[in-house]
Amino acid sequence: MKFTLPWLKEHLETTATADEIATKLTALGLEVEEIVDPTRALEGFTVAHVLEVHQHPNADRLKVCKVATKDGIRAIVCGAPNARPGLWSVLATEGLVIPATGEVLRRAVIRGVESQGMLCSARELGLGEDHSGIIELDPQGLEVGMPASRALGLEGPIFVLKLTPNRADCFGVAGIARDLAAAGLGQRKSRDFSPVPATIEARPRIRLDFPKGHEDACPLFVGRIIRGVRNRPSPAWLRHRLEAVGLRPISALVDITNYITFDLARPLHVFDAEKLSGELVVRFARSGERLLALDGRVYELDEGMTVIADATGPVSLAGVIGGETTGVSEETRDVLLEVALFDPVRTATTGRRLGIESDARTRFERGVDPELVLPATELATRMILDLCGGEAGPVVIAGAVPQRRPPLVFRASQLARLAGITLPPEEIRRILEALGFGVEGGPETWSLTVPSWRPDVTTEACVVEELARLHGYERIPPVSVTRTAAVNPVLLSAEQRRRIAVRRAMAAQGLLEAVTWSFAPPETMELFGGIPVRIENPLSSELSALRSSLLPGLLAAAARNRARKQEDGAIFELGPRFVGDQPGEQVWAVAGIRWGRAQPRHWAAPERSVDALDAKADALAALEAAGVRTEPLITTTDPPPWYHPGRAGRLLLGPRTLAVFGELHPAVLSAFDLDTTVVAFEVDLDGLPKPKPRAGKARPPLEPLPFPPVDRDFAFLVDRDLPAQDLLEAVRAAEKKLLREVRLFDLYEGPGVPAGKKSLGVAVRLQASDHTLSEAEIEAVAQRIVEMAEKRCGAQLRR
Amino acid sequence: MDLEALKREIEARIEAAASLDALEAVRVAALGRKGTITELVKSLGQLPVEERPRFGRLYNELKDSLERRIAERRKELEAKALAERLVRERLDVTLPARERPQGRLHPVSQVSEEIIAIFADMGFSVAEGPDVEDDWHNFEALNIPPEHPARQMQDTFYLSSRDARGQPLLLRTHTSPVQIRTMRAGKPPFRIIALGRVYRRDYDMTHTPMFHQVEGLVVDRRTHMGHLKGCLQDFVRAFFERDDIPVRFRPSYFPFTEPSAEMDIGCKRSKDELVVGEGSDWLEILGCGMVHPKVLAAVGLDPEVWQGFAFGMGIDRVAMLKYGIPDLRTFFEADLRWLKHYGFLPLEVPTSWGGLSR
Dihedral of CA A58/A63/A69/A73: which sign?
Answer: positive
Q: Are residues B257 and B305 in the same domain?
A: yes
B26 and B160 belong to one structural domain: no
Region A542-557: mean pLDDT is 95
**Residue B95 included in any domain:** no
β-pair partners for A317:
A307, A321
Q: Which of A525, A535, A533 is nearest to A586 (CA)?
A: A533
Of B160, B253, B336, which has the smallest distance from its Cβ to A535's Cβ?
B160
pLDDT above 80 for A799: no
- A676 pLDDT band (50/70/90 cuts)? very high
Cα dihedral sign, B3-B5-B8-B12? negative
Every domain of chain A and the residues it spans: 2-37+157-188, 40-151, 206-399, 408-475, 494-687, 710-797
ipTM: 0.89
Strands (E), A522-566: 533-534, 545-546
**Per-residue pLDDT band at A107 (split at 50, 70, 90):** confident
Per-residue model confidence as pLDDT tens for chain B (358 residues)? 588 888 899 999 999 999 999 999 999 998 888 888 888 888 888 888 888 888 888 888 888 999 999 999 999 999 999 999 999 999 999 999 988 889 999 999 999 999 999 999 999 999 999 999 999 999 999 999 887 777 777 789 999 999 988 889 999 999 999 999 999 999 999 999 999 999 999 999 899 999 999 999 999 999 999 999 999 999 999 999 999 899 999 999 999 999 999 999 999 888 778 888 888 889 999 999 999 999 999 999 999 999 999 999 999 999 999 999 999 999 999 999 999 999 999 999 999 888 898 8
Is B353 within the bounds of a domain?
no
Give the closest-approach CA distance of B187 to chain A in angstroms.
16
pLDDT given at position B270: 81
Which one of 1.10.10.10, 2.40.50.140, 1.10.3210.10, 1.10.1040.50 gives the CATH number of domain A40-151?
A: 2.40.50.140
Chain A, 73-92: which have a CB under 8 Å from a chain B CB? none
DSSP β-ladder status, A512-513 and A569-578: parallel
Q: Tell me the CA end-to-end span of chain A in Å, nearest whole number.
A: 92
Residue B1 confidence (pLDDT):
59
Which among A515, A518, A534 has the least Cβ separation from residue B106?
A: A515
Please indicate, yes or no, if residue B185 is contained in any of the structural domains.
yes
The average confidence (pLDDT) of chain A is 93
Whole-number pLDDT of residue B115: 97
Question: Residue B98 falls within a domain, yes or no?
Answer: no
What is the fold, at CATH topology level, of the domain defined by A408-475?
Phenylalanyl-tRNA Synthetase; Chain B, domain 1 (3.30.56)
Instruction: Give the pLDDT band of residue A92 (cuts 50, 70, 90).
Output: very high
- Say how far apart CA B30 and CA B271 lie, in whole Å: 92
**Cα(A442)–Cα(A444) distance, integer angstroms:** 5
Q: Which of B36, B53, B88 is the last residue of a domain?
A: B88
A494-687 belongs to CATH 3.30.450.20: no
Domain count, chain B: 2
Residues B147 and B210 in one domain: yes
Report pTM: 0.88
Query: Are A206-399 and A494-687 the same fold in CATH?
Result: no
| Residue B103 to residue B98: CA distance in whole angstroms | 16
Instruction: Please give the average per-residue pLDDT across A590-614, as a whole number.
Output: 93
Q: What is the DSSP string of A346-400?
A: HHHHHHHHHT---HHHHHHTT---GGGHHHHHHHHHHHHHHHH--EE---EEEE-
State whether residue A419 sits within 8 Å of chain B by CB. yes
Instruction: Name the residue type at position A54.
Output: H
Is A695 a residue whose pLDDT tops 80? no
Amino acid occupying residue B96: P
Are B252 and A164 in contact (CB < 8 Å)? Answer: yes
- Do B83 and B166 lie in one domain? The reply is no
pLDDT of residue A529: 87
Residue B271 lies in a domain: yes
Could you confirm whether domain A206-399 is CATH 3.50.40.10? yes
Q: Which of A373-382, A570-579, B27-36 has the lowest mean pLDDT?
A: B27-36
Residue A1's pLDDT is 94
Query: Is the CB of A480 inside 8 Å of chain B's CB atoms?
Result: yes
Q: Chain B within 8 Å of A200 (Cβ-Cβ)?
A: no
One domain for residues B246 and B143: yes
Question: Taking CB atoms and an 8 Å limit, are A506 and B103 in contact across chains?
Answer: yes
B284 and B312 together in one domain: yes
Regarding whether B279 and B152 lie in a shared domain, the answer is yes
B contact test, residue of A19, A366, A465 with most B CBs within 10 A: A465
Q: Do B258 and A492 touch (CB under 8 A)?
A: no
Hey, which residues does B315 pair with through a beta bridge? Answer: none
CA distances from A197 to A170, A226, A257 (A): 30, 12, 20
Please tell me which of the candidates B105, B231, B259 has its beta carbon nearest to residue A504: B105
| Single residue among B40, B60, B88 that ends a domain in this structure | B88
CB atoms within 10 A of CB B277: 18
Q: Note whether A107 contacts B: Cβ–Cβ < 8 A.
A: no
Q: How far is A641 from chain B (nearest CA, A)?
A: 26
Per residue, what are the HEC states of A693-706?
CCCCCCCCCCCCCC
pLDDT at A742: 95
**Chain A from 285 to 344: CB within 8 A of any B CB:** 344
Within-domain flag for B178: yes
Chain B nearest CA to A13, separation (Å): 24
Q: What is the pLDDT of residue A716?
A: 96
Tell me how close the Cα of B341 comes to any Cα of chain A, in angstroms. 11
Q: Which domain holds residue B237?
A: 107-342
> Which positions in chain B touch A345 (Cβ < 8 Å)?
147
Residue A760 · residue A715 · CB < 8 Å: yes
- Whichever domain contains B323, its CATH number is 3.30.930.10
- Residue B219 within any structural domain of the chain: yes
Does some domain include residue B58?
yes
Q: What is the three-class DSSP state of A744?
A: strand
Residue A151 has pLDDT above 80, yes or no: yes
* Residue count (chain B): 358
| Secondary structure class of A324 (helix, strand, coil) | coil
Q: Work out the number of other CB atoms within 10 angstroms of the CB of residue A182.
A: 20
Asked if B334's CB is within 8 angstroms of A554's CB, the reply is yes
Nearest CA in chain A to B283: A33
Question: What is the pLDDT confidence band of residue A488, given thresholds at 50, 70 and 90?
Answer: confident
Q: Could you tell me if B214 and B178 lie in one domain?
A: yes
B255 and B127 housed in the same domain: yes
Same domain, B186 and B257: yes
Which is more confidently placed, A799 or A187? A187
Co-location of B119 and B251 in the same domain: yes
Q: How many CA atoms lie less than 13 Å away from A330 in the CB half-sphere? A: 3
A83-87, A254-258, A332-336: segment of lowest average pLDDT: A83-87
Class of A2-37+157-188 in CATH: alpha beta
Count CA within 13 A, CB hemisphere, residue A32.
Answer: 21
| Of B105, B124, B250, Cβ closest to residue A507 | B105
Classify burial at A325, counting beta carbons within 10 Å of its beta carbon; exposed 0-12, middle 13-18, buried 19 or more: middle
- Taking 90 as the threshold, does the pLDDT of residue A358 lie above it? yes
3-state secondary structure of A668: helix
> Per residue in A312-348, pLDDT tens?
999 999 999 999 999 999 999 999 999 999 999 999 9
Residue B39 in 3-state DSSP? helix
In this structure, the answer to whether residues B142 and B213 fall within a common structural domain is yes
- Confidence at residue B280, expressed as pLDDT on a 0 to 100 scale: 85
CATH of region A710-797, choose from 3.30.413.10, 3.30.460.10, 3.30.70.380, 3.90.1150.10: 3.30.70.380
Q: Residue A682: its pLDDT value, please?
A: 98
Task: Tell me if chain B has a CB within 8 Å of the CB of A35.
Answer: no
